[in-house]
Amino acid sequence: MTTFTSTISINKPVNEVFNYLADFNNHRQLMPDSIQEWVSSVDDASFSIPNMAKLSLKIDSRVTDEQVVIIPAAKPPFDLKLKWSLSFNNDHTDVVFTIDAELNMMLKMLASGPLQKLADHETQSLKTILS
Q: Residue 99: which of 121, 75, 116 has the closest Cα? A: 116
Q: In which domain, by residue range, is 76 found?
A: 2-130
pTM, entire model = 0.94
Instruction: Give the number of domains in the chain.
Output: 1
- Per-residue pLDDT, 107: 87
> For 109-130, how does the pLDDT look when each residue is reduced to its tens digit (9 = 90+)?
988 998 999 999 999 999 999 9
Residues 92-96 have a mean pLDDT of 97
Distance CA 15, CA 9 (A): 14
For residue 38, pLDDT over 80 is answered with yes
CATH number assigned to the domain comprising residue 10: 3.30.530.20
> For 57-93, how does the pLDDT look when each residue is reduced to its tens digit (9 = 90+)?
999 999 999 999 999 999 888 899 999 999 998 899 9
> For 1-26, how does the pLDDT look when each residue is reduced to its tens digit (9 = 90+)?
999 999 999 999 999 999 999 999 99
- Per-residue pLDDT, 76: 84
For residue 50, pLDDT over 90 is answered with no
How high does pLDDT run on average in the chain? 94
88-119 core/surface letters (b: 16 or more CB in 10 A; e: else): beeebbebbbbbebebeeeeeeebeeebbebb
